[in-house]
């Protein structure tokens, strides 16, 4: 498990600092290449599977991780594909928690 995935998710508020610029680039280096940042506001990844059953099983694992972390991504499950979008709603942008959750998802998707 990566060091980032081991960090705790801290409850966010409107005062939670946004991660921007060089800090985003540094944290992206700790994630799988499938992740991309949209408008410095959202982390997004699409993971492909051979069928719907495996895609759904993966989405359920992500749901368990998210619930444990108290940090809930947007999941879109279709045949052979799960798209995940993560951002911190309280700040309408990216926080460190978003990258922590993405790192934990990377561990499940390996």
Tens digits of residue pLDDT in 74-107: 999 999 999 999 999 999 999 999 999 999 999 9
CATH of the domain at 48: 3.30.1360.20
**Domain assignment of residue 42, given as a range:** 34-110
Using the predicted structure, report yes or no on whether residue 65 has a pLDDT greater than 70.
yes
Whether residue 1 lies inside any domain: the answer is: no
Q: What are phi and psi of 26, to 5 degrees?
A: -65, -45
Rounded Cα–Cα distance for residues 12 and 110 (Å): 28
| pTM reported for the whole predicted model | 0.94
Tokens for 90, please give them: 């309280």
Widest pairwise Cα distance in the chain = 42
pLDDT value of residue 41 = 95
Residue of 69, 77, 60 lying closest to 98 (CA atoms): 69
């Amino acid at each position: 498990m990566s060091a980032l995935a081991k960090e705790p998710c801290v409850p966010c508020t409107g005062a939670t600092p946004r991660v921007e610029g060089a800090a985003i680039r540094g944290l992206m280096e700790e994630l799988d290449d499938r992740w991309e940042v949209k408008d410095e506001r959202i982390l997004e990844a699409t993971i492909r599977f051979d069928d719907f059953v495996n895609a759904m099983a993966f989405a359920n694992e992500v749901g368990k991780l998210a619930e444990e972390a108290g940090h809930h991504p947007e999941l879109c499950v279709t045949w052979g594909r799960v798209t995940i979008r993560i951002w911190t709603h309280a700040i309408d942008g990216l926080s460190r928690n978003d990258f922590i959750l993405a790192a934990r998802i990377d561990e499940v998707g390996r």
